[in-house]
Amino acid sequence: MNRKMMKQAQELQRKMAQLQQELETTSVQASAGGDMVKAVVSGKLRVESLEIDPEVVSDEDIDLLQDLVTAAVNEGLEKAQEMASSRMSSLTGGLNIPGLT
């Protein structure tokens, strides 16, 4: 591997580490049921917070509430994955590097 390629690989590695660090401090918000349930998910795919509208909670609505929470969390995880993939793709120029987001 020549020097120029080695330097480019090191620069890419540095940028990828920086992006991973940025993803740890970035988050997305998702909701379900017309904003009755909201979830905030980090770029590292961790649920940071969950907000449930008090009007949703009643004994009769427990199944609905569980479905809404599941939907909001899943949407948040999908958005966080899309954000991470998009940022990684822009960093790698669209190259598919195994083991990366």
What is the C-alpha to C-alpha distance for residues 29 and 21, in angstroms, rounded to an integer? 19
What does the pLDDT look like over 6-54, one tens digit per residue? 888 888 888 888 888 887 788 889 898 899 888 888 887 888 888 888 8
The pLDDT, as a whole number, for residue 51 is: 87
pLDDT of residue 101 exceeding 60, the answer is: no
| Residue 49 neighbours by CB distance under 10 Å | 11
